[in-house]
């Protein structure tokens, strides 16, 4: 189709949450649930919903600060860090926007 490029046609087959990303989600949910359990659940559902869009649009996020990654703002305070490997989108981390990323080496 004229006007389209290969990136627009690319589609991932599966979405994978890595262990660090799953741990980030649990920690965020637990922290927010201390004050507002329903907000914690809603935010976690938003993470799942937005990440699900990456299956159809894996290049949706901006080029990441770490080589080979992409970043997608899923909430004013949170960013999904992910990569696209073969037919998979791997969510690597869920980070608070104020957090130093990538971590500084000492």
Q: What are phi and psi of 93, to 5 degrees?
A: -150, 155
Q: Where does the pLDDT of residue 102 fall: very low under 50, low under 70, confident under 90, or very high at 90 and above?
A: confident
Phi, psi of 46 (to 5 degrees): -65, -40
> Which single residue is written with the structure tokens 């999904």?
80
> In the beta sheet, which residues pair with residue 96?
78
pTM of the model: 0.84
CA-to-CA distance for 80 and 68, rounded, in angstroms? 14
Residues 11-49 have pLDDT tens digits of: 667 999 999 999 999 999 999 999 999 999 999 999 999
Other C-beta atoms closer than 10 Å to the C-beta of 38 total 9
Domains of the chain: residue spans and CATH: 11-96 (3.30.2310.20)
Strand pairing report for 70-75 and 88-96: unpaired
Distance, CA of 24 to CA of 19 (rounded, Å):
9
pLDDT digits over 45-98, tens only?
A: 999 999 999 999 999 999 999 999 999 999 999 999 999 998 899 999 999 988
């Amino acid at each position: 189709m004229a006007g389209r490029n290969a990136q627009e046609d690319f589609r991932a087959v599966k979405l994978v949450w890595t262990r660090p990303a799953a741990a980030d989600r649990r920690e965020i949910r637990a922290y927010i649930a201390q004050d507002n359990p329903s907000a914690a659940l809603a935010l976690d559902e938003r993470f799942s919903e937005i990440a699900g869009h990456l299956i159809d649009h894996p290049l949706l996020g901006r080029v990441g600060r770490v080589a080979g990654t992409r970043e997608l703002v899923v909430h004013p305070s949170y960013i999904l860090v992910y990569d696209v490997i073969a037919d998979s989108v791997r969510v690597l981390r869920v980070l608070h926007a104020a957090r130093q990323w990538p971590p500084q080496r000492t």
